[in-house]
Amino acid sequence: MKKVKITIDNKEIEAIEGANLLHTSRLNGFDIPGLCFHHRLTPTGACRLCVVKVEGMPGVVMSCTLTVKEGMKITAFDEELETARRHTLSYLLAEHNEEYDGTYYDEMMPLIERYGLASKGNRPIPAFWHNIPPVIDDTSPVLTYDSSKCIKCFRCIKACEEIQGKGVLSFAERGITKYIVAGYGKWGDSECDGCGECIQLCPTGAIVEKPNRERI
């Protein structure tokens, strides 16, 4: 593995050429936010929270979609980037059911505090998730899916396909009404074997384990 030098916020670091830029940044202490990225999965750039600036590239780019190259100069944090992240997070919250029972880890919660959005009055985009009819699939003996908590990050779909090699999950509908389906419809009627990989990788509790689950 070839080592190269890149600069992040004026700090020179040594990194592996071709490695994921977001993952590399985090390993070196730059806590760039993101909800769709996971180091075990190929990136999608779906949540748009990990935006950075790269010298020589126009505008802002999703760091999870970039790979490390010799001499890269990256801005990870400045006022423009943090404002964009706050606005993006506010939009994700607007279509997200925040009701939380403490039985799972919600990766969005630390970001809500970090960007000063705990109070709904501080959010630039008012909530509209309650106007979208939720799809709740409780047909599996292992898990429950609630579309009102889903941020369409692709993690569960990619986990099923890339880690487990099943490819059972996909999206139905489009836009804000989009939701996850298993097979051709209901989870309980699909080829899902109850491995739990999607539960582990879901960042917001849209897919949760049932109490006293029994493996299919």
**Nearest to 177, CA basis, from 206, 150, 202:** 150
In three-state form (DSSP H/G/I as H, E/B as E, the rest C), the secondary structure along 127-144 is CCHHHCCCCEECCCCCEE
For the beta carbon of residue 134, count every other beta carbon within 10 angstroms.
Answer: 13
* CATH of range 3-77; options 3.30.70.360, 3.10.20.740, 1.20.1600.10, 3.30.470.20: 3.10.20.740
Q: What is the pLDDT along the chain (216 residues), one digit of tens a residue?
A: 899 999 999 999 999 999 999 999 999 999 999 999 999 999 999 999 999 999 999 999 999 999 999 999 999 999 999 999 999 999 999 999 988 888 888 999 999 999 999 998 999 999 999 999 999 999 999 999 999 999 999 999 999 999 999 999 999 999 899 999 999 989 999 999 999 999 999 999 999 999 855 544
Coil, strand, or helix at residue 15? strand
* CATH of range 91-209; options 3.40.50.720, 2.60.40.2470, 3.30.70.20, 2.102.10.10: 3.30.70.20
Pairing mode, if any, of strands 11-16 and 143-146? Answer: unpaired
Euclidean distance between CA atoms 7 and 194, whole angstroms: 43
pLDDT of residue 101: 85
Domain regions of the chain by residue span: 3-77, 91-209
Q: What is the pTM of this model?
A: 0.91
In order of 16, 39, 129, 187, 191, the CA distances from 169 in angstroms are 33, 20, 23, 9, 10
